Structure 1
Amino acid sequence: MNLISYILWNPDLEAFHIGPLAFRWYSLCWLIGLLLAYLVVRRLFKEQKIKDELFDPLFMYCFLGILIGARLGHCIFYQPDYFLTSWKGVIEMFLPIHIDPFGSWHMTGYQGLASHGGTLGLILALLLYVRHTGVGLWRVLDNIAIATGTTACFIRLGNLMNSEIIGRATDVPWAFVFERVDMVPRHPGQLYEAIAYALLFALMWFIYRKHQQFVGTGFYFGLCLFYIFTFRFFIEYTKEVQEAFEEGLMFDMGQLLSIPFILIGGWYMVKGWKKGQKLMQ
C-alpha cells in the first residue's frame, strides 16, 4: 500500500494559544458555525420585521439547547454503560472533565456530542423560546432551519480536525489517512457531511429568496430534517461503527435514530409546501 497516494491527516488539535489558554480547532469550528447561524437568523428576523428584543435571547436558547442535547444524546445513546452506571460517569456527562481512578480530575472539554441529541435539544429550546417571547413557533423553526446548514457544516469540520467519526477503510484516491487513529486509508466521512451541509444552506437560501412566504408553514423545518437525516442514513455506510454493540445490528445507531427524523421531516415538508402554494394563490 502506497500511503503517498492518499491524504495524510494529522493536524494539531490546538489552533493557537493566548498565554496559558489553548484554543482547539473543534471549539473554534463550533463557535464559527454558531456565529454564522446567528448572523443569518438575525438578517431573516430583520427582513420579516421581527423586533430586535425578540431576537436577542434566541442565540442563548439555541446554544444551550444544542450543547446540552448533543452531550446527553451521545452519553445516553452511545455510551450508557459508561455514563449511566457510576457517579463518575454522571459527573463527566455534565461537566467537561475526566476523573481518573485516583479521584483527581483534569479539563478535557466535552468529548462526545451527538447530532441527533443536539437536534432534539434545539427543538425543545425553541419551544421554550416561543413560550417566553410569543413569536410564532413555525416561523422560528423555519428560520432556524434555513441557517442550520452553516452550523452543521462547521461542526463536521471540527470532527475532521479532531480525526473523529472516521470512515471505513477504502482505496478511493481522496481517502484520508488519519495518523492519530491508524495508518489505514479511510473515507473522510466528516468532509462528506460538511460539504452536504454547505449545499443544504445554499439550497435553503435559494428557495427562501424565491419563496419567503413559505416561512411559517413548516416547509423549511421539514426540508432541513429530511435532507440532513436522509444524508446521515446513507453516509453511515461509509463510517466505522462508533460502539461495539452496533456490530450485530442491521442498521447502526446513527441510522436507527435518523429514521424518525426522516419521516417527520418528510411529513412537514409536504404539508408546508401545500400551505405555501395556497398562500401564493
Structure 2
Amino acid sequence: MLLSITWNISPEIFSLSPKEANWHYLFFVLMGILIGRGVLQYIKKKKFETSSILTVIGVALIGMVLWEKHPSHFMTPNIQVRWYGMAFAVGFMMGYKIMEKMFKSEKIPQEWLDKLFLYVFIATIVGARLGHVLFYNFDYYLANPGEILKTWHGGLASHGGTIGIIIAIYFYSKKVTKKSMLWTLDRLAVPVALVAMMIRLGNLMNSEIYGVATDLPWGVIFARNGETVAKHPTQLYEALSYFVTFIVLMYYYWKTDKKDKEGFLLGIFFIGVFLSRFLIEFIKEDQEAFEAGMLLNMGQILSIPFVLAGVYLIYRSSKKKK
C-alpha cells in the first residue's frame, strides 16, 4: 500500500456539557419562536411565503441537536451539534435555492415551492427512519417500539426516504399543483441528488457505512471505530456518484427540453443514484448481521426496483409525445 489516510475526525462540531449549557433554554425558545412564527403566518394568511423557510430552518436545527437527560439533572441536556445534521440541513437549504431558481424560470408560484419543501422535509425524515425500521432491524423495533423515535441513536435508510418522498408528492400533487406526480418528481430529482451527496459526506464525518479492507492509495483507516487497516471510503464513492448525477440532471434541465418529457429526469436520478449504490455495495461492509452470507445485501435488493423503474421511465418518456 503506497498511502493510507487515518480518519479520526469527531462527528461533533461542538459539544456542551450540562454545566456549560446554561444558554440551552434560550436556544430552544428561539427555535420555538421561529416555528410559532411560521404557524401563525399560515393561520393568518392561509398560505406559505418565502419567509416560512425560517420554520423549516428551526426544525432542521432542532434535528441537529442531540438531547439526552443528564443522570443527575432532570431537565439539563447535553447538546451536541453534529456534522451529519449540519450536512443534512445545508443540503436541504441548497436544494431549496436550486428549486427556487427552477420554479422562477418556469413562472411557478412561490407558494408551491414553500409547501413542497415542507412536504419533502417531513417525508424524508419519516420515510428514512421507517425504512430503517422495516428493512434493516424490524424484529428489534417490534420488541422496542419506543426506540423508533430515537433517531439520534442512528438509523436512516435512503430507500425509505425515497419512498416517503414519492408518497408525499402524491398528496402534494393532489392538493397543491393539480399536476401529475412525475411533473413534480422530475424537478425535485435535481436537488435531491445533491442532498444525497451531502448526506453521504455526513456519513463520512460519522465514520460509518464504509467499505472492506483495501490496499489502494486512498484507503482510509477509520480510527474512531477502532480500525487499524485501511478501508474503502465508500461514503466518498457514493457522494461522488450522486454529485455526477446532479450535474447530469442540471444539464438536462437547463440545456435541453428533457424536463418536458415526463419521467426522464426522474429516470436518470433513479439509475444514477441506485445503480451506483448497487455496485458500491459489493465493496461495502455489511450494515446488519443478517446480511452476512447473502448474495446481495439489503441495500442492493432495495436498489433493483428503482433501477428498473428508472429504465422504464426513460423508455416511456422517449415514446410519449411532449
Q: Answer yes or no: same fold by TM over 0.5.
A: yes
Indicate which of 14, 28, 42 corresponds to 2:12: 14
Letter in 2 for 1:256: I
* Distance verdict in 2 for CA 1:121–1:110, change over 3 Å: farther
**C-alpha separation between the residues in 2 aligned to 1:215 and 1:22?**
45
**C-alpha separation between the residues in 1 aligned to 2:166 and 2:319?**
23
Match of 1:141 in 2: 185
Match of 2:204 in 1: 160
Q: Do 2:126 and 2:161's aligned partners in 1 also have CA atoms closer than 8 Å?
A: yes
Match of 1:63 in 2: 121
Letter in 2 for 1:113: L
Aligned-residue CA RMSD (Å): 1.7
What SS does the aligned partner of 2:292 have? helix
**C-alpha separation between the residues in 2 aligned to 1:254 and 1:271?**
26
State the shift of 1:125 in Å: 1.0
Match of 1:263 in 2: 308
Q: Do 1:10 and 1:180's aligned partners in 2 also have CA atoms closer than 8 Å?
A: yes
What SS does the aligned partner of 2:211 have? coil
State the identity as a percent. Answer: 42
Match of 1:31 in 2: 89
Q: How does 1:184-195 map to 2 (within 5 A)?
A: 184-195=229-240
State the shift of 1:79 in Å: 1.0
5+ long unaligned stretches in structure 1: 97-108
**C-alpha separation between the residues in 2 aligned to 1:160 and 1:242?**
15
* Distance verdict in 2 for CA 1:54–1:216, change over 3 Å: farther
- Give the TM-score taking structure 2 as reference length: 0.77
**C-alpha separation between the residues in 2 aligned to 1:219 and 1:135?**
20
- Give the TM-score taking structure 1 as reference length: 0.88
**C-alpha separation between the residues in 1 aligned to 2:12 and 2:108?**
39
TM-superposition CA deviations, 1:69-122 (whole Å, max 9, x none): 1111111111112111x2xx21111243xxxxxxxxxxxx25111111010011
Q: Do 2:261 and 2:318's aligned partners in 1 also have CA atoms closer than 8 Å?
A: no
- Give every structure 1 segment of 4 or more consecutive aligned residues whose post-TM-superposition deviation is greater than 4 Å: none
Further displaced range: 67-76 or 10-19: 10-19
**C-alpha separation between the residues in 1 aligned to 2:186 and 2:211?**
32
Indicate which of 124, 135, 140 corresponds to 2:167: 124
What SS does the aligned partner of 2:6 have? strand
Letter in 2 for 1:27: G
Indicate which of 43, 46, 51 corresponds to 2:101: 43
TM-superposition CA deviations, 1:135-192 (whole Å, max 9, x none): 4222211100111211000000000000011111111010000012211210000000
**C-alpha separation between the residues in 2 aligned to 1:209 and 1:59?**
21
What SS does the aligned partner of 1:57 have? helix
Letter in 2 for 1:76: L
**C-alpha separation between the residues in 2 aligned to 1:272 and 1:214?**
10
Q: Do 1:140 and 1:216's aligned partners in 2 also have CA atoms closer than 8 Å?
A: no
State the shift of 1:5 in Å: 2.7
Match of 1:211 in 2: 256
State the shift of 1:38 in Å: 1.0
State the shift of 1:14 in Å: 1.1
Letter in 2 for 1:227: G
State the shift of 1:216 in Å: 5.5
**C-alpha separation between the residues in 2 aligned to 1:49 and 1:118?**
29
TM-superposition CA deviations, 1:168-220 (whole Å, max 9, x none): 11110100000122112100000001111111111111111222453461110
Q: How does 1:87-98 map to 2 (within 5 A)?
A: 89-96=144-151
Letter in 2 for 1:252: N
Match of 1:175 in 2: 219
Indicate which of 276, 289, 293 corresponds to 1:248: 293
What SS does the aligned partner of 1:248 have? coil
TM-superposition CA deviations, 1:5-55 (whole Å, max 9, x none): 310001111113586343100100101111111111111111111111122
TM-superposition CA deviations, 1:215-235 (whole Å, max 9, x none): 461110111011111111100
Q: Do 2:241 and 2:272's aligned partners in 1 also have CA atoms closer than 8 Å?
A: no
**C-alpha separation between the residues in 2 aligned to 1:185 and 1:271?**
44
Q: Do 2:5 and 2:219's aligned partners in 1 also have CA atoms closer than 8 Å?
A: yes
Letter in 2 for 1:32: V
**C-alpha separation between the residues in 2 aligned to 1:134 and 1:209?**
22
